Chains A and B, each alone.
Chain A
Amino acid sequence: MTGTIQVVICRCCVEKPALIDLARLEAVAAETELVSSVVISEAVCDGKGATDVAKDAQAKDGDRAVVVACDKKDFDPALLRAYRRAGIDELMVEFLNMREGVVLPHARDNERAQAKAETMLRAALKRAMMLKPLEMETEEMRTRNVVIVGAGVAGRAAAETAARAGMHTILIEKGDRSFKAPGVLMTRAKVVGGKGYPGNYVLTIKAGEKVEELECAAVVVATGGGWTTLKGPLAKACKEAIPLYRLHEQVTAGAVPKGPIVIADTPDPSGKSLRVMDFAWEEALETAISLKRTHPQTDVTMVFQEMRAFGLSELAYKEAADMGIRFVRYDKSGAPKIDSKDPTKLTVKDLAQGELLTLSFGTLAFASLPANPDNKDIADALRIPMTPEGAMRRGSIQRWPVSTPRPGIYVCGSALFPKTAEVAKAEGEAAGAMAARFAISGTISFGGVVAEVTQEKCSACLTCVRTCPFEAPFIGKASKVEIRKQLCQGCGMCAGACPSKAIDLLHFTDDQVREQSRVLLGGDF
């Protein structure tokens, strides 16, 4: 039995700037069957009015809602909490992004914007009608262990933070440095395999000759950058060159690096073995500026193919130039080379000048580093996707900077891209906190948006088993596919690939998606 739908329209999102006739939206909602009430809220996206919305929902006793506002990812969680208290499960609330879907992008298209808004509302209402309550299952986490791979700056920070939150931490370090760490420190140890699922991972650790299994709830990957394997003609020709973060450490410690200083974007200008890292410029600018502030007499030159300072770093670019830091831009026609006769000289063709420059240096620093080759082993063992450069992939640069797409596995420090010690430490603290927060509940909750198999239709063709990157489908009893819900990420690749239409993705079933598409195409254009 489909329950009644509460519709909430947020004025903040729908009326600023003025474009949409809210009253007409209200009318569309009110005339739709199963809609029990239409609540107009001032700013439900900000959490204001959440209580009123919940009160109305409770009174109308419905089990689902359509919220016409902005991007659901930016909503104040107060609304969902209020809904939960009113008996409406999170997955039964359909968010319609009117602001970024219509009000902003079609600001100058009044007539068509209204038609689109009304059609989108109808599609959202239809989808809400088709939603089904989804069961979540829970399982106990067998341990509260948080394993941190790598005992560098980031790893140690992660361990401290997680331990402070009450987790039992196990630091795995491949070297044999010994130092004070919370929990357990395993030296000369490497992660060689892993199985299980978020909350109940089982890692295979090789310590010396011994191989043992370690259960944990969450993992923090802090394997660092690959300085010892620096490749590229410039690194080969100049053995004393240092990574940028080392230069930064020296400057912060008050040491005087031998001048003149040359900071090059990469030890491999051809890009064959190493691409220029995304954040090379920001780090390089900050380091150069710190250097010039403390040692204004030292000559600092930055040799780059392009200077991509983003956001507020643009100001750093100007500041650096004003302080007398020289910028030399090159391209492949005149890439930097170490002078074969004198390894303290760097030749490069300055594109602005159009001539070959010879730069003497006391210190040569590289802003880009190759990823740690160990990363590939860890990524394979834990099945974390990697970037083409060989670094760990982040969930999302904006929203989840220290998470991987695999829940319960976090990453920090130079394993992502080379960075200074302070930034690595901060990321380590963040990752440790997230791992602790994940493990602290002691229970894993799974289900909801997961794949579901209709076994009678399954041809056991193995397509889903081969397609899923998370190993969620497997051939179970009766030689039909079953889904390991704890591993299922709810992406639906299997549902799209199944030749017998035996798998569907709950919450985004074939029928639900098709209906939405059909209603959207059916309205006025």
Chain B
Amino acid sequence: MSDRRPRVVGFCCERHASDSATLAARSGKEWDASVRTVTVPCSGRVDGLMLLRAFEDGADAVFVVGCLEKNCYYDTGSIEGRKRVENVKSMLADLGIEKERIEMFNAASTNPWAFPQAANKMAEVARRLGPLESGGESK
């Protein structure tokens, strides 16, 4: 366990993900202040390069939140987002880095607990696994 606080960044879509985060806050939900978010128009905007660069820039855990796949505002955006996240996950795993450090979540705009659950889960992962510098086995 390191003294350094965990650093988590989440990429949230401007549609259901952002709406659900706003609803969560207004419903009195709280989440870990270790989590910062970047808004993108659609989770399908996010590509593997963006996610890996977040790790380069100091993130200990990274996540993406998009609309429910059956209800994505841009039809197939969150499906694309998931594929990109899965690709990075398998790359990290091949490099001996814990694949829990990256995750895809889906939220409905009317769901006040989906976003806090995602944010808190990733903060917990970052805490438990420690900063990336200490993570996994060298491969």
What residues of chain A have their CB less than 8 Å away from a CB belonging to chain B?
A: 71, 73, 97, 99-102, 104-109, 112-113, 115-116, 119-120, 123, 385, 387-388, 393, 395-399, 405, 449, 467, 469-470, 489-493, 495-497, 505, 508, 510, 513-514, 516-518, 520-522, 525
- Contacts A106-B30, A521-B9; A489 near B74 (Cβ below 8 A): yes
Which residues in window 96-139 of B have CB below 8 A to A? 109-110, 116
Q: Which of A71, A115, A508 contacts B45 (CB 8 A)?
A: A508
Which 6 pairs from chain A and chain B are nearest by CB? A492-B45, A100-B25, A493-B44, A491-B42, A496-B47, A112-B33
- Contacts A105-B30, A397-B109; A525 near B5 (Cβ below 8 A): yes
- Range class of the B interface residue count: 35 or more
A449–B74 Cα distance when bound, in Å, is: 14
What residues of chain B have their CB less than 8 Å away from a CB belonging to chain A?
A: 5-7, 9, 11, 15-16, 18-19, 21-22, 24-26, 28-31, 33-34, 36-38, 40-42, 44-47, 49-50, 53-54, 57-59, 70-77, 80, 84, 109-110, 116
- Contacts A491-B42, A518-B57; A113 near B33 (Cβ below 8 A): yes
| A residues in contact with B71, CB < 8 Å | 387, 393
Q: Chain B at the A interface: mostly helix, strand, loop or mixed?
A: mixed
The smallest beta-carbon distance between B49 and chain A, in angstroms, is 8
B77 & A396 in contact (Cβ 8 Å cutoff): no
11 sampled A-B residue pairs with Cβ under 8 A = A102-B33, A105-B29, A105-B116, A109-B33, A397-B110, A405-B75, A492-B45, A496-B47, A513-B45, A513-B50, A521-B58
Name which residue of chain B comes closest to A109, CB basis: B33
B76 & A387 in contact (Cβ 8 Å cutoff): no
| B residues in contact with A106, CB < 8 Å | 30-31, 33
| A residues in contact with B31, CB < 8 Å | 105-106
The smallest beta-carbon distance between A195 and chain B, in angstroms, is 17
Q: Which of B24, B41, B109 contacts A508 (CB 8 A)?
A: B41
Q: Which of B24, B25, B50, B77 contacts A99 (CB 8 A)?
A: B25
A398 & B47 in contact (Cβ 8 Å cutoff): no
The smallest beta-carbon distance between B135 and chain A, in angstroms, is 16
B36 & A398 in contact (Cβ 8 Å cutoff): no
A393–B75 Cα distance when bound, in Å, is: 9
B22 & A71 in contact (Cβ 8 Å cutoff): yes
B50 & A101 in contact (Cβ 8 Å cutoff): no
| B residues in contact with A104, CB < 8 Å | 25-26, 28
A517 & B41 in contact (Cβ 8 Å cutoff): no
A470–B73 Cα distance when bound, in Å, is: 12
